[in-house]
Structure 1
Amino acid sequence: MDIINKALEFEQRKLRSLSTSDRVKISREAKALILGLNQIYKEKKDEKIMDIMKRLTTIKRKVEKRLKGHISI
């Protein structure tokens, strides 16, 4: 359950004024946490774990959108 605690701590971080390298690190860390939680979810089928994964995915998408740049047409 250590990975669940890491994921909850990750959610509480401030994500303001980040450099590009910080954004890359956050994106990679989020991906690792999501994959780890997914392994636990496969075994336990707990909806709380799925909710954590969804929230982490939302954070990861926001960071990656900022990394790639938002192009509006």
Structure 2
Amino acid sequence: MTLIEKALEFESRTMSNMSTSDRVEASREAKSLILSLNEIFKESKDPEIMDLMKRLTAKKRKIEKRLKGLPTE
């Protein structure tokens, strides 16, 4: 499975009913995929790879927002 296929599979994965450890693992996997795709993007400058990285980053932010929880005052 290529890196782009892994990223697309991660993007299509559902994130409901995840435990905290699953969210941490998903966040780390997203970070790893984004950094790997960035290395490819540096050489190819393919706009499709940039769009994929942006979508993965948005999903990663949602996961991390859920991990941090509601702000307490």
How much has 1:15 moved relative to structure 2?
A: 0.5
TM-score normalised according to structure 1 size: 0.94
TM-score by length of 2: 0.94
Note the aligned Cα RMSD (angstroms): 1.5
4+ residue segments displaced more than 6 Å: none
2:1 counterpart of 1:11: no
Aligned equivalents of 2:72 and 2:54: distance in 1? 25
Q: Which runs of 5+ in 1 are unaligned?
A: none
Tell me the residue number matched to 1:59: 59
Deviation at 1:16, TM superposition (A): 0.2
Separation in 1, partners of 2:29, 2:70: 22
Q: Gaps (5+ residues) in structure 2?
A: none
Identity of aligned residues (%): 64
User: Match for residue 47 of structure 2?
Assistant: 47
